[in-house]
Amino acid sequence: NSLTSPGQTPTPISWQGTVRDLAAGGFSATWLTGGRPIVAAARQEVVQGDAATAPLPTTAVAKRLRYQLALQTNETNPLTLPNDTTRRDVELADYYAYDDGSAEYILGLVASNTNPTSYVALAYTASQPDYVKSLRVAPVFNNTPGNDNNQPRTIIVAVWDDNNGKPANLPKATITGTLTNPTASGQAFQEITFATPVPVAGRFYVGYGQPSTGQFLNYGLDLNNQLPANALFSNTLGAAINDPWRAVTLTTPGAPMFRPVLTQTLLATRAQQALSAAFTLYPNPAPSGTTVVVEGPAFRQAALLDVLGRPVWRQPAAEAGQATLHLPSSLPGGVYLVQLALPDGNTATRRLVVD
């Protein structure tokens, strides 16, 4: 903002966008620099840049990165001086998460005393085959007499394969664990580990089950982030019912604090490399909003992932398996992965650059 009267000299400002590893001795890089005079009486000026232009180290070590955009305004008013910097921390580690680690609200299944065990499932997409070692959840206890009352609680955690955009009726793995009450001081999450890591590929789901008898426990909901469409599902009907899963639209939008922890990342074998090498994309690079043709063997459905493995587009069911991919016109330029689900259950992946 610049509320300088029209007769005064425009205020010069400069800005810098940076990213740095918060670990001692970590790397740092600059992704934006610039400056301009702000004309008198102007209330808004846009400052923007692409943080992805700063290359990140490709080491396998977990990282906590701080992206920051700072203005040098020559401000002298102590009331507005602190309002010159915005930042966001990004953690690159061994888990997937939609949340930022802080719960502002709660999420829970509706209490039921008649139905089978109810489940909540949250969708994630693996950019390559991997294994789910455990699930981290953020329980919110109601430690009053007649409720949780400082007693440990039992939880059923599960992993599901994808079934046409919904979780499969039956989980591919479950385990029952115990949540300590209260959670350790300073910790939001508790971790339940599977007896054997669960293999996953492409779109998969993690979540928890709640028996129809006993007490009902809530979990943390982060209100600073929102889920993509068709990412959260509930099943209150049981696995014996055809199509028991229902997409959930949260009344209070947010991100449930369920984090699958991955382990023993699979390296692409020669057979997997051969599967992907059988496909080519044309044109590549491709203009945003154009069509891309997949040349190669038959496939069941195509999806587009960003560089973090998050789905940004899925081939509509009416076009599933068609070689021509109609990319959305709103797709930003960048590097993407075209993931092809094959008839035998394998997945092929090809790199696509969008101009």
CA distance 37 to 11: 5
Both 135 and 231 in one domain: the answer is: yes
pLDDT of residue 214: 59
User: Has residue 99 been placed in a domain?
Assistant: no
Q: Which of 278, 271, 318 is nearest to 298 (CA)?
A: 278
Kindly compute the dihedral angle of the four CA atoms of residues 28, 29, 31, 37, in this order, to the nearest 10 degrees: 90
* Confidence check: pLDDT of 140 > 80: yes
Per-residue pLDDT, averaged over 320-326, amounts to 94
Contacts of 138 (CB under 8 A, 6+ apart): 103, 183, 188, 189, 190, 219, 220, 257
Both 166 and 237 in one domain: the answer is: yes
Pair of tokens at residue 341: 């689900």
Both 116 and 196 in one domain: the answer is: yes
DSSP state, residue 62:
-
pLDDT of residue 266: 47
pLDDT of residue 114: 61
Both 114 and 258 in one domain: the answer is: yes
DSSP state, residue 223:
T
Task: Write out the residue range of the structural domain in which residue 18 sits.
Answer: 11-92
User: Has residue 1 been placed in a domain?
Assistant: no
Domain harbouring 296, CATH code: 2.60.40.3080
pLDDT of residue 6: 56
User: Has residue 98 been placed in a domain?
Assistant: no
User: Has residue 289 been placed in a domain?
Assistant: yes
Domain harbouring 127, CATH code: 2.60.120
Give the residue carrying structure tokens 């102007």. Answer: 42
Both 310 and 256 in one domain: the answer is: no
CA distance 38 to 10: 5
Both 129 and 65 in one domain: the answer is: no
Q: Which of 345, 81, 336 is nearest to 202 (CA)?
A: 345
**pLDDT band with cut points at 50, 70 and 90 for residue 158:** very high
Q: Which of 261, 251, 255, 198 is nearest to 232 (CA)?
A: 255
Both 159 and 213 in one domain: the answer is: yes
CA distance 157 to 137: 10
3-state helix, strand, coil in the chain (%, to 5): 5, 45, 50
Element containing residue 277 per DSSP (H, E): helix 270-277
* Confidence check: pLDDT of 1 > 90: no
Please tell me the total count of domains within the chain.
3
**What SS3 state is found at 37?**
strand
Q: Provide φ and ψ at 86, rounded to 5°.
A: -125, 140
Q: Which of 31, 60, 92 is the last residue of a domain?
A: 92
305: left (phi over 0), alpha (psi -120 to 50) or beta: beta
Q: Which of 25, 58, 92 is the last residue of a domain?
A: 92
Q: Which of 239, 263, 287 is the last residue of a domain?
A: 263
CA distance 199 to 173: 10
Per-residue pLDDT, averaged over 171-195, amounts to 89
User: Has residue 2 been placed in a domain?
Assistant: no
Both 114 and 183 in one domain: the answer is: yes
Q: Which of 117, 165, 159 is nearest to 259 (CA)?
A: 159
Both 243 and 275 in one domain: the answer is: no
The residue with greater pLDDT, 279 or 36, is 279
**What SS3 state is found at 174?**
strand
Give the residue carrying structure tokens 């490399």. Answer: 273
* Confidence check: pLDDT of 146 > 70: no
User: Has residue 3 been placed in a domain?
Assistant: no
Per-residue pLDDT, averaged over 238-256, amounts to 89
Q: What is the overall mean pLDDT for the chain?
A: 85
Q: Are 291 and 325 in contact (CB under 8 A)?
A: yes
Per-residue pLDDT, averaged over 54-81, amounts to 83
Both 192 and 132 in one domain: the answer is: yes
Both 191 and 218 in one domain: the answer is: yes
* Confidence check: pLDDT of 307 > 80: no
User: Has residue 301 been placed in a domain?
Assistant: yes
Q: Which residue type, as a one-letter code, is found at position 185?
A: S
The residue with greater pLDDT, 299 or 333, is 299
pLDDT of residue 113: 54
* Confidence check: pLDDT of 149 > 90: no
Both 252 and 148 in one domain: the answer is: yes
* Confidence check: pLDDT of 4 > 70: no
